[in-house]
Structure 1
Amino acid sequence: MKLVKQFLVLISFSLLAFACSNDENTPIPIPQNETKELTIFHINDQHGRIDNFSKIKHIIDLEKETTNVIVVCGGDIFSGNPVVDNYEEKGFPMIDLMNKVGFDIATIGNHEFDYGELILKDRILQAKFDWVCANVDMNTTGIPEPYEYKSIIKNNVKVTFLGLVETNGKEDAIIPSTHPWRVQNLTFQKYTSVINNYSQIKQSEGSDLYIALTHLGVSTDRNIAENYPFFDLIIGGHSHSKINTVVNNIPIFQAGSNLENLGKIQLIIKNGEIENLTYNLINLSNYTDVDTGIKEIIDTYNEDANLDAIIGFSEAYHSNSQVGYFYTDALKNEMNVDLTLQNTGGIRASLNAGDILKREIYTIDPFNNGSVTYTMTVGEIKNFLKNSGAGFYYSGGSIEQNNNEIIIKNDNNNILSDNTSLTIGLNDYIPAVYDTYFTQTPTYKPYTTAEAIINYLENNSGSINYTNYNNYFKYN
């Protein structure tokens, strides 16, 4: 894991802190004893949503006319909008717009790894803002190492940010919640293993503020405030929460998700302490002004995506779970297997009644997961369902629990014996996470699961209605 710059940790500043100007050898004194004003704008978990950046740009530029401004992101920049996720250079529109809006810094979220190593490398190199994450090592992948912490200076204000990402992606490994096969060459540590290494950074940097910019979720941010109280603020992400609270005298903020809100933290600072803090969570649906230049760019990205082709018809509104029932049924037919399973977290959106657009399927399934099949016995499938602890949507017969026993029946309602072999189809994220139960080499299909659903809809003229289905199983 990365070594902390120990010589920085040991340096202490009393009255003055020094940073670097454009000439890195020229020290600039940062006075601590004057009253300073700063506004921090923050977003998190935008998941590819871009439409509100024109409003955000307008808000930020107005604020910059009157005070110092820093713009930050709490991670999960990608995965969720097909305009961004299926762009020729995956993720490019998001970074392009963040550059143009004027973001200063972002922490790495778990979904930054969804596109794989080469694309993450390109997106980090594309960014004109800094990246921070203290508990990842990119090793020899060629992905630029993010800063563990980074100080940003706006006129007379110096703010240092420490980045952290969650590592709860796999029970027997320390990785983020992303496809395990896409982070095989990276090394992660739990935040608890590294955070104390950075307890003196505010002093060594001579900063006015020290902020944890995290992608850990609100419960973990609360734990940091309780147990690692050397931060002035915590700005978070991952749990998609709207948070404005104080724990152990440390303010904690999070701005929801999907670029629906913009957090605004207004600060008055003196001698490295917050004298006054005002918070406003701006609901962007209620904000009408836009930056016309940014809006034109967004409109072009949306129009060029060609995602509005009608590929099917839904008789009714389908909730996420009802989409899961349809999803597995469509996969079963398209993959020609006996049983399909779909993890609940892989269904990311509901489905409206009426015409089904191609963009809706890519929004429901944004992860570009591959399609794989296995041949497994009923006994092996039961072992997986019983011991994985996870719940799944499914199609193919029925799966029930009777006391401690799992009963699997075929489409004719006949109970299947444990030694019966079935072909099972699923996205490749599931066997990657639960590799203890999927030990065979799978058969790879030449399409992603989203492409399978699109193909199914395009080749089946009937409408869909899964509102009365209940094909979900979780062992209790």
Structure 2
Amino acid sequence: MRKLFLTVLVVISLAVLVLATQVNLSIMHTSDIHGNVFPVDYATGKSSAVGLAKVSTLLKEMRKSNPYTLAIDTGDLIQGTPLAYYYAKVDSSGENPMIAALNHMGFIASVIGNHEFNYGPSILERAIDEADFPVLSANIVFESSGEAAFTPYIIVEVPVEGDTVRVGVLGLTTSFIPNWEEPKNIAGLSFLDPVSTALEYVPQLREKVDVLVVAYHGGFERDLKTGAPTEELLGENVGYQILKEVKGIDVLLTGHQHRTIAEVIDGTVISQPSNWGKVAGKIDLVLEKNNGKWEIVDRSIVQVSMAGYEADSALMAMFQSFEDRVQKWLDQPVGIAIGDFYIDDPLVARLADNTLIEFVNRVQSSVTGAPISSVALFTNDIKGWKTGPITIRDINAVYIYPNTLKVIKVTGADIKAALEKSAEYFTYEDGEIVVTNSWINPKPLHYNYDMWEGIEYIVAADRPVGERVLSIRFMGKPLEMDGEYEVVLNNYRAGGGGGYTMFQGKPVVREVMLEVSEIIANYVLERVAVSATLDHNWSVGTGFIHTVGWNETLRTISEMYGIDASDIMKYNPDLKRVERIPAGTKIIIYKPALEEVPVM
């Protein structure tokens, strides 16, 4: 698995004039490229300001301006798009396109990210063998020997006008991979604490180099300046610990969180360039030779958006035939739908259980083992598919975001609060249930309205906000407000995204770090045929809680509200005595907005 590159000589052609006393060194930083070469959104098929082809144009510009430019990637490179999936699962006869792209662009190093393991050891080992640069990680070791499984670091010698600047790059990877990855994909490996590993290596490297870069596939859950908590992400206190506890680091390159960070803290340059190649970090260091030693006298960083850059046509030409095969494959069937998984009307789909949302929730529960799941219909343009062939493009068009899955432990009260939050999506006006204006203006927030599977619930849109969920049941019994339940959500929602603060800081039971679109694709590929199901476990309508008066019966209550007695029983399954209901009993009076239609 290991391909050693402990020292690399970077040859930069320059006329040697006199010994340099000052030099400007630039570093371009990418991370979480996730299989993006072309400037295209595979979910929609439209052009997008992403991908290595655009980054390549920036890199050429940087090198033209400053030949002392190094390019470093911090992981999650070979997984994430249909292009990467096609290479790993369908046709790996040629070079890995992601590795070939970095080879062509002249990267000096990449770091092992957690997603590098997703396709198994053979794909990863082959990628490392094909790379003209080292793939780094000092804290991943062989379980049997404790030796580094990958190249721990690289020392690059940059010739500058008769002298040499030595740049050390130490690679580190989040140690939480065993919480996410399939055990077979990481068999025989141990993941050591990155902070302890950095404390071991940094002092050794500091003595050998003029510039020390730590390239860490991981991030932060604390504000870099104040130390205050920001995001509750499993294991991501590590980046902050490295910054504060490991002395001697000039540049800290990070990733994993898909955040955009450009800071200089206590002399350390910190970079995180979002994801997919949307932006790239541009770090500039000014070095002066004093008393025979190079010292950094100035440093700066910016994150450069790719929106203003044209894609490198030469780079795209290298992979165009492969991309053409990918696009053709996207429209080939990978499974068969038995029944319609289709959204005719997005409002209707959000008013009652539907086959598409139920399917996605069932897939999430299946892959994680969590009994309760929730997901959103992200936009009004999502349709799904009808009876017949299902393509990868169909799947990518349904789950359009690069979310992964988290199983968190919550209380029944948390679930109730989340349902109430979603119920704010609706307003009852002039006898109709409509979408609340603030959820669609100034921009649509449909992705923040969740629908659940694994519980049974009803929502009365005409009730006051915070009092709309009339009933929640789990496995045939009322949900216990102080009970604990495992729920699978996407990583955005599990972190409290969309205003779901009730999920912030909850214990993470397990995670699946594949993107949900890939999870759905694998599910369909494994089963070939998938059947549409509809258990009608939830709906939105109108209603309230009736307190039974003296001598009231089911018949008199039914007549009072003009509702069939069978409907009252349906929404009050714990009601046993129907002739003489004890006074003071609370009964749900509810009418769904839509009639239940059996799935075909």
TM over 0.5: yes
| TM-score, length-scaled by structure 2 | 0.53
Pairs within 5 Å for 1:56-455 = 56-65=55-64, 66-87=66-87, 88=90, 92-138=96-142, 145-155=149-159, 156-169=164-177, 175=178, 177-205=180-208, 207-219=209-221, 220-270=238-288, 271-288=293-310, 290-305=311-326, 306-308=329-331, 313-315=342-344, 329-330=358-359, 341=370, 353-354=381-382, 356=384, 358-359=392-393, 361=395, 364=399, 395-398=453-456, 408-409=473-474, 414-415=476-477, 449-453=520-524
Give unpaired runs (5+ residues) of structure 1: 3-7, 9-18, 23-30, 170-174, 370-380, 401-405, 419-423, 428-432, 436-446, 470-476
Q: 1:331 to 1:176 in 2, by over 3 A?
A: closer
Give the structure, 1 or 2, with the largest relative contact order (CA under 8 Å, sep 6 or more): 1
* Greater Rg over alpha carbons, structure: 2
Give unpaired runs (5+ residues) of structure 2: 11-17, 39-50, 222-237, 385-390, 419-449, 459-470, 481-485, 490-507, 511-517, 541-600
3-state SS of 2:477 partner: coil
CA contact (8 A) 1:332 1:340 kept: no
Letter in 2 for 1:186: L
Q: Deviation string for 1:186-224 (max 9, x for gaps)?
A: 11111133221113234442x120011001213433322
Pairs within 5 Å for 1:1-20 = none
Cα distance between partner residues in 1 of 2:19 and 2:260: 32
CA contact (8 A) 2:138 2:148 kept: no
Q: Which residue of 1 aligns with 2:37?
A: 50
CA contact (8 A) 2:362 2:453 kept: no
CA contact (8 A) 2:260 2:272 kept: yes
Cα distance between partner residues in 2 of 1:458 and 1:235: 45
Q: 1:177 to 1:452 in 2, by over 3 A?
A: closer
Q: 1:332 to 1:191 in 2, by over 3 A?
A: closer
Cα distance between partner residues in 2 of 1:128 and 1:201: 25
Aligned pair count? 387
Offset, 1:153: 2.1
| TM-score, length-scaled by structure 1 | 0.66
CA contact (8 A) 2:58 2:309 kept: no
Letter in 2 for 1:450: A
Cα distance between partner residues in 2 of 1:98 and 1:232: 24
Letter in 2 for 1:191: P
CA contact (8 A) 1:222 1:247 kept: no
Offset, 1:355: 5.4
Cα distance between partner residues in 2 of 1:85 and 1:302: 12
**Structure 1 vs Structure 2: percent identity of aligned residues?**
19
3-state SS of 2:330 partner: coil
3-state SS of 1:262 partner: strand
Cα distance between partner residues in 2 of 1:326 and 1:212: 48
Q: Which residue of 2 aligns with 1:34?
A: 21
CA contact (8 A) 2:375 2:452 kept: no
CA contact (8 A) 2:142 2:189 kept: yes
Q: 1:360 to 1:212 in 2, by over 3 A?
A: farther
Cα distance between partner residues in 1 of 2:187 and 2:278: 33
Letter in 2 for 1:38: L
3-state SS of 1:64 partner: helix
Q: 1:351 to 1:79 in 2, by over 3 A?
A: farther
CA contact (8 A) 2:53 2:315 kept: yes
Offset, 1:396: 4.1
| Structure 1 vs Structure 2 CA RMSD | 5.1
Q: Deviation string for 1:258-312 (max 9, x for gaps)?
A: 2111111122112332222232321112212x32221223433332112145987
Cα distance between partner residues in 1 of 2:354 and 2:287: 53
